[in-house]
């Protein structure tokens, strides 16, 4: 919470800023700049972060490096480098977020500041190759440019450059990642400013290693990539040999898939820019995206041919030319689609194509084709590796050498399993041919016996009938096992989907930080839920939402993922804080994503959303069907949501949601919820619980602690269902919080 002194400071700081805007119309450019930096200093005094000096010694790396760096985001790229490195904006630097310096597709200039000190420098007359030397490394090779400014305690500063849009010959150190050697021959405090910019994903993962440890890590890394590329190459040539022997086009498609995946990984790992096209910046920034799309073309060709979709799914195969045509179009789109848009297009198309071929593999396996299991397991391994990498990148799990290369390991296992699938398919075809030949021989033998012994005709018919019954029983047993296995697979997938949805929901610890007292009653009908809750604090505003998407279970969970991303996009990325406008943008987003203008899709969601403005001491509410219940001075207030949904059919020209503004100068207890609780059947008369019972119950318990209220609500609905042995009919969500 902000102290009274800081409120006062912000007030006078605002007055100063207004004064600056007024007088700046009549001042010179230099005077404006001086006043601007003076205002920056004044507004930052009470918020500046002190920065610890990072101590370096001998061959030890900086273990506390990440916790002692500060960063500053120049969103409009308005500040000059000389103003930054002269310390004029030092008070604007802040510690990095808990998730790490992973900023996604943002066009800002990012500045990193840190201070280091060599506590035990080696005398110059005894300096070895690894003495007084450390290496600053950014692990990701997708950054466009990195500029490092070194400000020593004495003497002139220096500058070094690296990055994907900088020719490799200009890099200060030739290595697959971007590395800056730091030579510190004295025991003074050295200050460094690192400017980072990228049109692609701005992923910053810095380490400061001693020369000894850096060389050890580099050796292990190069050994890993040598084994990795070697293994992939062996698999490619092995399947190329099979193509020359068997003459099935699927082997050639598979070899092309491995080849372009190797090229993509050579680019992604930095080996290409370091050793192959080191002087071609244009090739460095284009080859990864191009090879990914080319790889998608060949994996689609391979999957449709290998899984025999033309025979297994003839209805889907009618659209195969269109799917393949779009794959080729996605490759050519690189030459006329803007770079950032093409990155988003790559992410979306990779997800769609991966989901498509994975689903085809699951379907063919489910239909009894044994060889498809290796295909499915290969994709599962690949996707698990990719998922772990993404979780690691956003800071949810700590980094390590294995996790940093988990995607390559998953891809290597995938390639190996695909080769097993091809081999198993050949074996299955051979087994089926042998079974067919044996069956033909058996039939011929029986016919000969029938011609020789007509007197045993009836006996033979009975024996055949018995054999058929036994065969049918065996088939039924096999099908039963397959169904059990399929059920287990689907159940495992849904359970895994539950973990993904749980990861999507904001942590309840954040809710406890936002409010002094709050609770969430979240009771899905199935494993995954169509209801979800969402809350965030941004720009001194707290935004809380309880949403109910169309359906429940897996369909509802898909809608909740889409709606959660839209809330993040509208509120956090687009910074829209008006409750009614948020719902309006959500409505438009749902209709665009689900293409509801062109299709018959009518899915959507109901929602209750509150925007709490700490500065104005007021709360905005807007609802789509879902209401708000709040108490002030022990009096209940009930505000209905608009009789409109988010998404679905729209007949009016513009969908407008009603906004309500509520003063929160008094202590206020608020509840927002979906309709699952009140619509639940129960009691001996098999009635719905109803909104009136819920309002009366909230009136009785609203003065109690929020955790106690949540327990009472859960016990109430459980007893309500149990008294009539009713099953839960819908997802349930109630979110309560107190504003003091």
In a domain, 449, yes or no: no
pLDDT at 344: 79
Which range among 335-349, 442-456, 716-730 has the greatest average pLDDT? 716-730
What's the mean per-residue pLDDT of the chain? Answer: 81
pLDDT bucket at 253, cuts 50 / 70 / 90: confident
pLDDT at 628: 97
Q: Does residue 52 share a domain with residue 39?
A: no
Q: What whole-number distance in Å separates Cα of residue 619 and Cα of residue 320? A: 53
pLDDT bucket at 573, cuts 50 / 70 / 90: very high
- Comparing 215-229, 313-327, 337-351, which segment has the lowest mean pLDDT? 337-351
In a domain, 707, yes or no: yes
For 688, list phi and psi in degrees, rounded to 5.
Answer: -75, 150
Q: Are 520 and 674 in contact (CB under 8 A)?
A: no
Check pLDDT > 60 for residue 299: yes
Q: Does residue 287 share a domain with residue 201?
A: no
Q: Does residue 177 share a domain with residue 276?
A: no
- Cα 653 to its chain centre, rounded Å, is 35
More confident residue, 571 or 25: 571
Structural domain count of the chain: 4
pLDDT at 340: 73
Q: Are strands 541-549 and 531-538 parallel, antiparallel or unpaired?
A: antiparallel
Q: Which two tokens stand for residue 231?
A: 């293994």
pLDDT bucket at 624, cuts 50 / 70 / 90: very high
More confident residue, 33 or 616: 616
Q: Does residue 91 share a domain with residue 29?
A: no
pLDDT at 4: 35
- Comparing 3-17, 40-54, 278-292, 422-436, which segment has the lowest mean pLDDT? 3-17
pLDDT at 714: 93
- Enclosing H/E stretch for 317: helix 314-317
In a domain, 227, yes or no: yes
More confident residue, 520 or 215: 520
In a domain, 719, yes or no: yes
Check pLDDT > 80 for residue 692: yes
pLDDT at 354: 83
Q: What 3-state class would DSSP assign to 350? A: helix
Nearest to 207 by CA among 67, 402, 388: 67
Q: Does residue 116 share a domain with residue 5?
A: no
Kindly report, residue by residue over 509-563, the tens digit of the pLDDT: 888 889 989 999 999 988 888 899 999 999 999 999 999 998 777 887 888 888 9
Domain end residue (candidates: 215, 245, 275): 215
For 160, list phi and psi in degrees, rounded to 5.
Answer: -135, 155
Which range among 148-152, 286-290, 425-429, 662-666 has the greatest average pLDDT? 662-666
Q: What whole-number distance in Å separates Cα of residue 493 and Cα of residue 554? A: 10
Q: What 3-state class would DSSP assign to 165? A: coil
Q: What 3-state class would DSSP assign to 737? A: strand
pLDDT at 392: 58
pLDDT at 726: 85
pLDDT, mean of residues 611-628: 95
Question: What count of other Cβ atoms lies within 10 Å of the Cβ of residue 90?
Answer: 19
Q: Does residue 207 share a domain with residue 303?
A: no
More confident residue, 223 or 32: 223
Looking at the DSSP bridge assignments, the partners of residue 350 are: none
Q: What whole-number distance in Å separates Cα of residue 483 and Cα of residue 569? A: 41
More confident residue, 495 or 312: 312
Q: Cite the beta strand spans of 266-341 per DSSP E.
A: none
Q: Are 85 and 45 in contact (CB under 8 A)?
A: no
Q: Which residue range forms the structural domain that includes residue 684?
A: 505-739
More confident residue, 324 or 167: 324
| CATH code: domain of residue 582 | 3.60.40.10
In SS3 terms, 587-621 reads as HHHHHHHCCCCCCCCCCEEEEEEEEEECCCCEEEE
| CATH code: domain of residue 53 | 2.60.40.2380
Angle at 445 between CA 440 and CA 449, to 5 degrees: 150
pLDDT at 389: 65
Q: CA distances (Å), 23 to each of 16, 17, 38, 607, in order?
A: 11, 10, 14, 47
Nearest to 122 by CA among 105, 109, 134: 134
Nearest to 555 by CA among 584, 516, 527, 519: 527
Check pLDDT > 50 for residue 32: no
Kindly report, residue by residue over 460-508, the tens digit of the pLDDT: 777 777 777 777 778 878 877 877 777 676 667 677 767 777 888 899 8
Nearest to 399 by CA among 178, 95, 100, 70: 100
Q: Does residue 186 share a domain with residue 107?
A: yes
Q: Is the Cα dihedral 545, 546, 551, 557 positive or negative?
A: positive
pLDDT, mean of residues 105-122: 85
Q: What whole-number distance in Å separates Cα of residue 340 and Cα of residue 107? A: 10
Contacts for 125-133: CB closer than 8 Å, 24+ residues apart: 127/185, 129/211, 130/59, 130/210, 130/211, 130/212, 130/215, 131/211, 132/183, 132/184, 132/185, 133/181, 133/182, 133/183, 133/184, 133/210, 133/211
pLDDT, mean of residues 583-594: 92
Q: Which two tokens stand for residue 365?
A: 């396996």
pLDDT bucket at 142, cuts 50 / 70 / 90: confident
pLDDT at 430: 73
Nearest to 520 by CA among 714, 271, 259: 714
Q: Does residue 705 share a domain with residue 590?
A: yes
What is the secondary structure of 691-721 as a DSSP string?
HHHHHHHHHHHTTS-HHHHHHHHHHHHHHHH
- Comparing 233-237, 376-380, 424-428, which segment has the lowest mean pLDDT? 424-428
Check pLDDT > 50 for residue 592: yes
In a domain, 286, yes or no: yes
Q: What whole-number distance in Å separates Cα of residue 181 and Cα of residue 210? A: 10
Q: Does residue 290 share a domain with residue 211?
A: no
Check pLDDT > 70 for residue 231: yes
More confident residue, 633 or 274: 633
Looking at the DSSP bridge assignments, the partners of residue 739 are: 668
pLDDT at 577: 94
Q: Is the Cα dihedral 41, 571, 673, 562 positive or negative?
A: negative
Check pLDDT > 60 for residue 178: yes
Q: Does residue 28 share a domain with residue 94?
A: no
More confident residue, 28 or 201: 201
Q: Does residue 170 share a domain with residue 78?
A: yes
Check pLDDT > 90 for residue 427: no
In a domain, 488, yes or no: no
pLDDT at 585: 93
pLDDT, mean of residues 349-355: 83
Nearest to 267 by CA among 242, 295, 287: 287
Q: Are 519 and 736 in contact (CB under 8 A)?
A: yes
pLDDT at 5: 34
In a domain, 482, yes or no: no
Check pLDDT > 60 for residue 649: yes
CB within 8 Å of 214: residues ≥ 6 apart: 134, 135, 137, 179
Q: What whole-number distance in Å separates Cα of residue 478 and Cα of residue 467? A: 16
Q: What 3-state class would DSSP assign to 144? A: coil
* b/e sequence 259-286, b meaning 16+ C-beta within 10 Å: bbbbbbbbbbbbbbbbeebbeebebbbb
Q: What whole-number distance in Å separates Cα of residue 477 and Cα of residue 458? A: 29
Looking at the DSSP bridge assignments, the partners of residue 158 are: 150
Q: What 3-state class would DSSP assign to 35? A: helix
Domain end residue (candidates: 393, 428, 463): 428
Which range among 198-207, 394-403, 631-640 has the greatest average pLDDT? 631-640
Q: What whole-number distance in Å separates Cα of residue 629 and Cα of residue 122? A: 70
What is the secondary structure of 1-28 as a DSSP string?
---HHHHHHHHHHHHHHHHHHHHGGGS-
pLDDT at 43: 44
For 537, list phi and psi in degrees, rounded to 5.
Answer: -115, 125
In a domain, 576, yes or no: yes
Q: Which two tokens stand for residue 212?
A: 């000894």
Q: Does residue 282 share a domain with residue 200?
A: no
Looking at the DSSP bridge assignments, the partners of residue 624 are: 607, 642
Angle at 208 between CA 205 and CA 214, to 5 degrees: 105
Nearest to 698 by CA among 682, 680, 681, 710: 710
């Amino acid at each position: 919470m902000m102290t009274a002194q800081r409120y006062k400071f912000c007030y006078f700081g605002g007055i100063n800023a207004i004064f600056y805007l007024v007088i700046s119309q009549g001042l010179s450019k230099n005077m404006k700049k001086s006043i601007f930096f003076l205002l920056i200093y004044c507004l930052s005094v009470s918020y500046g972060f002190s920065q610890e000096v990072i101590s370096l010694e001998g061959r030890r790396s900086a273990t506390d490096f990440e916790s002692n760096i500060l960063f500053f985001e120049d969103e409009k790229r308005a500040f000059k480098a000389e103003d930054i490195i002269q310390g004029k904006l030092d008070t604007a630097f802040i510690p990095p977020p808990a998730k790490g310096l992973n900023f996604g597709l943002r066009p800002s200039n990012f500045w990193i500041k840190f201070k280091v000190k060599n506590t035990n420098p080696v005398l110059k007359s005894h300096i070895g190759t690894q003495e007084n030397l450390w290496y600053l490394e950014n692990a990701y090779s997708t950054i466009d440019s990195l500029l490092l400014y070194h400000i020593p305690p004495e003497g002139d500063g220096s500058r070094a450059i690296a990055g994907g849009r900088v020719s490799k010959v200009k890099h200060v150190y030739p290595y697959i990642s971007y590395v800056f050697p730091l030579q510190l021959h004295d025991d003074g405090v050295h200050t460094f400013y690192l400017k980072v910019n990228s049109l692609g994903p701005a992923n910053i993962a810095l380490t400061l290693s001693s020369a000894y440890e850096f060389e050890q890590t580099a050796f292990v890394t190069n050994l890993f990539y040598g084994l990795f590329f070697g293994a992939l190459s062996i698999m490619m040539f092995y399947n190329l040999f099979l193509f020359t022997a068997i003459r099935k086009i699927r082997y050639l498609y598979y070899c092309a898939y491995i080849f372009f995946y190797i090229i993509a990984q050579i680019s992604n790992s930095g080996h290409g820019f370091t050793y192959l096209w080191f002087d071609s910046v244009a090739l460095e920034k284009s080859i990864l995206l191009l090879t990914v799309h080319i790889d998608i073309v060949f994996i689609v060709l391979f999957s449709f041919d290998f899984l025999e979709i033309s025979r297994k799914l003839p209805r889907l195969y009618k659209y195969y030319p269109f799917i393949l045509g779009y794959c080729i179009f996605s490759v050519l789109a690189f030459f006329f689609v803007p770079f950032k848009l093409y990155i988003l297009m790559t992410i979306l198309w990779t997800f769609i194509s991966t989901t498509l071929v994975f689903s085809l593999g699951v379907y063919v396996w489910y239909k009894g084709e044994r060889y498809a299991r290796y295909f499915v397991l290969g994709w599962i391994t690949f996707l698990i590796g990719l998922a772990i990498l993404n979780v690691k990148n956003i800071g949810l799990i700590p980094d390590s050498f294995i996790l940093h290369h988990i995607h390559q390991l998953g891809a290597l296992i995938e390639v190996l399993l695909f080769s097993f699938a091809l081999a198993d398919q050949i074996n299955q075809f051979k087994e089926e041919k042998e079974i067919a030949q044996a069956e033909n021989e058996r039939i011929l033998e029986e016919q000969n016996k029938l011609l020789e012994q007509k007197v045993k005709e009836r006996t033979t018919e009975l024996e055949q009938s018995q054999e058929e019954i036994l065969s049918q029983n065996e088939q039924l047993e096999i099908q039963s096992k397959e169904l059990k296995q399929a059920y287990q697979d689907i159940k495992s997938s849904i359970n895994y989907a539950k973990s993904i949805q749980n990861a999507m929901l904001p942590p309840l610890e954040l809710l406890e930080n936002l409010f002094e007292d709050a609770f969430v009653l979240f009771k899905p009908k199935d494993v995954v839920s169509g209801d979800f809750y969402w809350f965030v604090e941004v720009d001194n505003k707290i935004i809380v939402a309880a949403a109910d998407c169309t359906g429940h279970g897996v369909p509802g969970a898909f809608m909740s993922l889409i709606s959660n991303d839209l809330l993040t996009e509208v509120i956090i990325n687009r910074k829209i804080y008006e409750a009614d406008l948020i719902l309006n943008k959500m409505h438009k987003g749902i209709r665009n994503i689900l293409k509801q203008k062109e299709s018959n899709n009518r899915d959507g969601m109901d929602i209750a959303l509150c925007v709490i403005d700490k500065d104005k001491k007021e709360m905005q509410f807007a609802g789509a069907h879902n209401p708000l219940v709040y108490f002030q001075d022990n009096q209940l207030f009930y505000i209905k949501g608009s009789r409109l949904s988010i998404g679905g059919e729209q007949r009016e020209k513009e969908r407008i949601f009603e906004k309500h503004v509520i003063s929160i100068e008094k202590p206020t207890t608020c509840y927002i919820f979906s309709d699952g609780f009140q619509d639940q059947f129960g009691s001996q008369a098999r009635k719905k619980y109803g909104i009136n019972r819920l309002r009366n119950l909230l009136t009785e318990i609203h003065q109690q602690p929020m955790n106690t209220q949540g327990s009472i609500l859960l016990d109430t609905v459980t007893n309500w269902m149990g008294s009539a042995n009713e099953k839960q009919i819908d997802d349930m969500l109630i979110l309560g919080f107190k504003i003091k």
